[in-house]
Amino acid sequence: MAEVAAAHEVPEAVRSGNLRAVLLGAPGSGKGTQAEFLAAALGVPAISTGAMLRDAVALGSALGSKVAGIMGSGALVDDGLMAEVIRDRLDRPDASRGFLLDGYPRTTGQAATLDEILEECRGKLDAVVLLEVPEAVLVQRAVARRRDDDREEVIRERLRVYREKTEPLVDHYERRSLLTRVDGEQAVADVAAAILRALGRRA
């Protein structure tokens, strides 16, 4: 993280730790990698709903047993259950002054839930960054990683679900003038620098 901050100036406007931003992109586009990489530089927590659900499955919690099969098939967990998960997480003190969301929202219903949560605390979303990566590269990255849901047929299903349910959010946030597109095929540090520049322009 120090390398990122040193190599690429973190714009003053986003250094205050008040940023509320969403990383949007297909499975394997680098959302989790970038959220972890940038959260400390931005002074906000990286919140990954996928990681939270995987933790729940690993712990064998009630939530984990509800979502394990869904995740294994490449489908999405239903919006009602995800609303509880994200509401609980954003209620924690570390998220009160900002966050970098990875994997939420991924349906128009989830986007509406996020707006409701932010309205309740008189906050607003500052930026949405779309990581753009060609489909062939997404599949290569996921197959190379070998997570439980990284079998090729499950990856193809996750990509299909992304196109159907999540891609409409690109238009949704573009219409609200919140969206910036970033080339996610570059090296990790270059993607991080491009995201920081995009956030700096929007803060």
Which residue from 124, 145, 163, 176 is in contact with ligand AP5, where contact means CB under 6 A? 145
Residues 77-116 that bind ligand AP5 (CB under 6 A): 77, 82, 102-104, 106, 110
Within 8 A by CB and 6+ apart from 125, the residues are 20, 21, 22, 114, 115, 118, 178
Told to check if 29 binds ligand AP5 by CB under 6 A, we report yes
Told to check if 191 binds ligand AP5 by CB under 6 A, we report yes
Which residue from 69, 183, 188, 201 is in contact with ligand AP5, where contact means CB under 6 A? 188
| Cβ–Cβ < 8 Å for 4, 186 | no
Q: Which residue lies nearer to ligand AP5 by CB, 50 or 98?
A: 50
Distance CA 72, CA 186 (A): 29
Told to check if 45 binds ligand AP5 by CB under 6 A, we report no
The site for ligand AP5 (CB under 6 A) is made up of: 25, 27-33, 49-50, 53, 70-71, 74-77, 82, 102-104, 106, 110, 141-142, 145, 158, 187-188, 191
